[in-house]
Chains A and B, each alone.
Chain A
Amino acid sequence: MSAPTLREFLRARGVTRREFMKFCTATTVMLGLPATMAPRVAAALAEARRPSVIWLPFQECTGCTESITRAHGATIESLIFEAISLDYQHTLQAAAGDAAERVREQAMKDNWGKYLLIVDGSIPTGNPGFGTIAGHDYASMLKEAAEGAAAIVALGTCAAYGGIPGAKPNPTGAVSVGDLVKDKPIINVPGCPPIPVVITGVLTQFLTFGKVPELDALGRPKSFFGQTIHDRCYRRPFYERGQFADSFDDEGARAGWCLYKLGCKGPTTYNACATVKWNNGTSFPIEAGHGCIGCSEPHFWDQGGFYQPLSTGNWGNARTVATAVGVGAALGIASAALARKRQRDAEGT
């Protein structure tokens, strides 16, 4: 018996055609596609057979899983999630140990070349023993799984760019998926964690069109990562007018002014937080009064500090300045001494 199509599956679950169309329309719009494409999205999704998805968790905190499963009751998103044949996912699967591994191996074999590989967490390269699943180190697992994948979704900033394990001093030698896999299409979906609906949106996009969406220079889908927080931030007028909060809970902060001075990285962060927001559109960090920490950007942990404004940088510290002063003074004294010596020699002759 062939697996039911997504439409059949949803109908069996009690999702009406109307609800299904509403979801497809919303998703179409959210993807930045013209609304006229909604029927095409619906048609593609309706006929989609539940593709196999293998989810490999590496050096991760499980935040990305938490994000994607932030269900408020039985939402469409979580149903869609179940509509995918999620054949391997540590947090959500029932099986464990050898049984789980055998399921994974079978799914990969059955769907070789066609399954979608989702990876979250970074991969340690310092020592294979730093991360293993069933005795296999992460790097080899990734290599093997990537070989049979149709495409890879590097979910979360850790998988996309190294994330928190990759932050200084990076004791495990953590690298991203893209650092290790060079011959398969990779969709980076960064964020710490990524917005739930961004994750499902990307998956839907992939299912709908069967190919990798348009990506930016950092491998992120332009539909969600094409603009900066700054460009869509509702506090932008205050930035333009130079009205800033100087400290948390001061007058400016309470008036909802721009958080640039408190370290907001909005201007250089590409994500959908300012438009799509979090918790089903409830709010996002800036709206809650905290500057954007730039969590969908590479190395965001190492940009000098979340509360360091963008206009500051690593100019050094008292020690490096003192060293420079010492070196400069020494060179100055030396060159003057040399010149004086030449003078004395000239006078001697």
Chain B
Amino acid sequence: MTAPTGHTHTRKPEPLEFDKPRVSIAKPEYRFDMQGEMPEPERVERAMKSFVKDFGRTAAIYMESCIHCGMCAEACHFYEVTKDPKYTPIWKLEPFKQAYKREYGPFAVIYRALNLKQKVTVQQLQEWQELIYDSCTVCGRCSLMCPMGIDIASLVSQARHGMFNAGLIPHELWSVTERARLEGSPLGATPKVFKDRLEWLADDHEVDIPLDKANADVLCAMSSIEIMKYPDSVVATARIMNHLGVDWTFRLDGYEATNFGLLSGNSAAQKLLTMKIIDAAVACGAKTVILPECGHAYTALRWMGANMYGQPLPFRVMHIAEYLAEQVHEGRLRLKQVKKSVTFHDPCQVVRRGGAIEAPRDVLKALGVELREMYPTKGTNWCCGGGGGVIANHRADDIRYKTFRIKMEQIEKTGAEMPVTTCANCRQTFDDGQAHFKWDTEMHSLLELVADNLVEEET
């Protein structure tokens, strides 16, 4: 259900569903998928303005290159399970391609003079909200297929900027981004909550968890999903870092790795959230920042962070799986052998988009598991269906569950005992899917698997 007109920004936190396998706000009775109280022409104007601001040469080349072959649909899990042509990835960009040609392209003058492309309307953008947010996880599989080499996923991210500025993002994404912006976490893991959790985790599990060190070599970040839903991951991180004898810390001024600004299209919020980590790392002089098991956190800091910062980052950024692989290679991390058959689910932002393709596999190899790759795997693996903010969006539940069938089938075909992944969002998507379908298979965390199988040195 959608409220007729706008709903102004509120400080009222929405209730969170902690009892469900996915951490999200409770299924809203009323959806406010339109934010702000602007008149319609202004919405379009804002969308266009933000769009023009963002646009660069590469995006323009992409917009000029589509030949309408439709092959991108064949790569998209949303199309795969519905065969509905509206899910064709490049079709998601249609209003923006229209706007590009009319406002910004080389023939813009001609397009406007002869009215060859209509001005984008609010109705169009509203219609497109579902395509851009509910049925796109920005997984980038389409980008891998496109014969013209268009990075369609990146264009969807850019389109989301326009949608945000028009006040046309889905209710839940707006809500959690506001929380993140105002409270420091989209899911209620405020600094106070985080501090409290660290204390009882340290107590419960008898592990040292350094917090707010003035100087440290390594700054670790966590995702709110782990803090609230998978606290064992926090413990696992601490255990491993301590085991390695690293000078590391968490910091309350920069611990949240997720970035709903990136997912919703709110560039200002994206920058705000990224800068927290950067400032915290700079403050403690960290040489390495380790990102947790989270997909878009990697994209946000490893690949987009320096551009937010305006200069190269003064520290290394690594995904925890990469860090573990490095430690394995350098002989510092010896692991007990896990005699189980394992299949690895590739988190899109880490593997396909992020480039850490072999790192998780190197770690699994060090764990001595019998690795059974699913098909397809690595760069072409199917998305879990919950990334890009989709799992937060209840309106997208039906279609997300449909796409989950692909993952279940993939995993079952391998016959592996244990599916493992290295992204907490994928993990909660699997948990939610498992609950929905009453599936008998549980997803595991690579990080926790490592922490559970450390070979403790004899002292």
Chain A residues packing against B (C-beta within 8 Å): 331-332, 335-336, 338-339, 342-343, 346-347, 349
Complex Cα spacing A339 to B52, Å: 8
**Top 6 nearest A-B pairs by Cβ distance?**
A335-B106, A346-B53, A346-B52, A346-B49, A339-B104, A347-B53
Interface centre among B50, B53, B103, B108 (most CB of A within 10 A): B53
Partner of B103, one of A331, A342, A349: A342
Smallest Cβ-Cβ distance to A347: which chain B residue: B53
Say whether A343 contacts B108, CB under 8 Å: no
Q: Does B109 contact A (CB under 8 A)?
A: yes
Chain B residues with CB under 8 Å of A338's CB are 108-109
- Nearest Cβ in chain A — how far from B88, in angstroms? 27
Q: Does B309 contact A (CB under 8 A)?
A: no
Chain B, 381-409, CB within 8 A of any chain A CB: none
Chain A residues with CB under 8 Å of B53's CB are 343, 346-347
Partner of A339, one of B49, B50, B108: B108
Chain B, 85-108, CB within 8 A of any chain A CB: 103-108
Say whether A335 contacts B52, CB under 8 Å: no
Smallest Cβ-Cβ distance to B55: which chain A residue: A343
Complex Cα spacing A338 to B111, Å: 14
Complex Cα spacing A174 to B129, Å: 70
Chain B residues packing against A (C-beta within 8 Å): 49-50, 52-53, 55, 103-109
Chain A residues with CB under 8 Å of B50's CB are 346
Complex Cα spacing A88 to B22, Å: 110
Complex Cα spacing A192 to B139, Å: 74
Say whether A335 contacts B108, CB under 8 Å: yes
Complex Cα spacing A342 to B104, Å: 8
- Sample (27) of A-B pairs whose CB atoms are under 8 Å apart: A331-B106, A332-B106, A335-B105, A335-B106, A335-B107, A335-B108, A335-B109, A336-B106, A338-B108, A338-B109, A339-B104, A339-B105, A339-B106, A339-B108, A342-B52, A342-B103, A342-B104, A343-B52, A343-B53, A343-B55, A343-B104, A346-B49, A346-B50, A346-B52, A346-B53, A347-B53, A349-B49
- Nearest Cβ in chain B — how far from A325, in angstroms? 16
- Nearest Cβ in chain A — how far from B365, in angstroms? 48
Chain A residues with CB under 8 Å of B55's CB are 343
- Nearest Cβ in chain B — how far from A230, in angstroms? 40
Complex Cα spacing A130 to B104, Å: 60
Complex Cα spacing A332 to B64, Å: 14
Complex Cα spacing A342 to B50, Å: 11
Complex Cα spacing A108 to B201, Å: 126
- Nearest Cβ in chain A — how far from B283, in angstroms? 30
Given contact pairs A343-B53, A349-B49, a sample of 19 additional A-B residue pairs in the complex whose CB atoms are under 8 Å apart: A332-B106, A335-B105, A335-B106, A336-B106, A338-B108, A338-B109, A339-B104, A339-B105, A339-B106, A339-B108, A342-B52, A342-B103, A343-B55, A343-B104, A346-B49, A346-B50, A346-B52, A346-B53, A347-B53
